[in-house]
């Protein structure tokens, strides 16, 4: 099994008190790392663009050190990666400040050539992966995915500031939900993107064909595509909710790809996310 996780890897700046800590993260990269940890025998590659600067090399070295493949990463002379900073409240809720407008990842698939994805069994994308691409590239990617047999895994991961407008984000996300074989939405993102209540989001995804999970935080995931009713214990203490959804995706997909049932995959994702939120930053110690 080979899976490509497509998106942006950035330099992560987080604070522990007044002490800054430098790391590497990005939503689809976080999932790639947790997927590899959950299913070491699955070949997980990260697909992005980086520059030729020291921070790009730091990102590449980090990804490789986590067991995720880097052969599909394209290097661009004169480019550099994005940067983001995490601020957390006493309750562990986080907010982000970004410096990413000139990120090398925005040049991903700039030639409209998606053939590199054809060698994989599955492609994992997010709303952030789509939002950082120019509109013409997004459209071309959706058209290519529509004609490709590759399995598509999608998480809408809505970040309003990355999009030209909400209506366009809705259009792209709706097209991706139609194509996705495995859907991994978060209820808060879907509520914000489509101006729906939690109940409306649940009804919409309950009627959807295909496999997946609707992430609902402490309440636990709602199974998509098959019945799986079980109780999910909340995290012991929440320090930082960064990558909670990304780690759920990695644990869930890792379980599915190693032959576990839907119920076991949902529980694996929830338990992993519950551990991750007890650590600062996106990637907890292995």
Q: Where in the sequence numbering do the catalytic residues fall?
A: 246
Q: What tokens does 72 get?
A: 């599909």
Strands 182-183 and 151-155 come out as parallel
Q: How far is it between the farthest Cα atoms of the chain?
A: 51
Residue 10, SS3 per DSSP: strand
Q: What tokens does 47 get?
A: 């697909």
- Exposed (0-12), middle (13-18) or buried (19+): which is 204, by Cβ within 10 Å? middle
Q: What tokens does 209 get?
A: 């064909």
Contact 56, 78 (CB under 8 A): no
In the chain, what is the straight-line distance between the N-terminal and C-terminal CA atoms, in Å? 23
CA distance 255 to 161: 33
């Amino acid at each position: 099994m080979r899976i490509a996780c497509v998106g942006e890897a950035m330099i992560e700046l987080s604070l522990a008190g007044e002490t800054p800590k430098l790391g590497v993260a990005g939503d689809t990269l976080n999932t790639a790392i947790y997927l590899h940890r959950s299913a070491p025998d699955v070949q997980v590659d990260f697909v992005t663009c980086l520059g030729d600067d020291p921070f790009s090399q730091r990102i590449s070295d980090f990804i490789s050190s986590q067991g995720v493949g880097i052969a599909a990463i394209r290097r661009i002379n004169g480019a550099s990666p994005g940067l983001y900073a995490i601020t957390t409240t006493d309750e562990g809720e986080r907010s982000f400040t970004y410096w990413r407008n000139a990120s090398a990842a925005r040049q991903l698939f700039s030639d409209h050539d998606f053939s590199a994805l054809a060698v994989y069994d599955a492609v994992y994308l997010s709303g952030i992966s789509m939002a950082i691409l120019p509109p013409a590239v997004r459209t071309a990617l959706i058209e290519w995915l529509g004609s490709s047999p590759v399995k598509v895994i999608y998480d809408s991961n809505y970040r309003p500031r990355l999009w030209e407008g909400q209506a366009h984000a809705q259009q792209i996300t709706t097209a991706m939900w139609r194509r996705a074989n495995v859907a991994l939405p978060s209820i808060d993102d879907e509520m914000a993107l489509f101006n729906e209540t939690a109940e409306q989001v649940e009804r919409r995804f309950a009627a959807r064909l295909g496999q997946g999970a609707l992430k609902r935080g402490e309440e636990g995931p709602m199974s998509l595509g098959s019945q799986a009713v079980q109780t999910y214990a909340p995290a012991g203490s929440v320090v930082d909710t960064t990558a909670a959804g990304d780690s759920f995706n990695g644990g869930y997909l890792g379980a599915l790809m190693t032959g576990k049932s839907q119920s076991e995959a949902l529980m694996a994702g929830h338990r992993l996310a519950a551990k991750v939120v007890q650590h600062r930053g996106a990637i907890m110690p292995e």
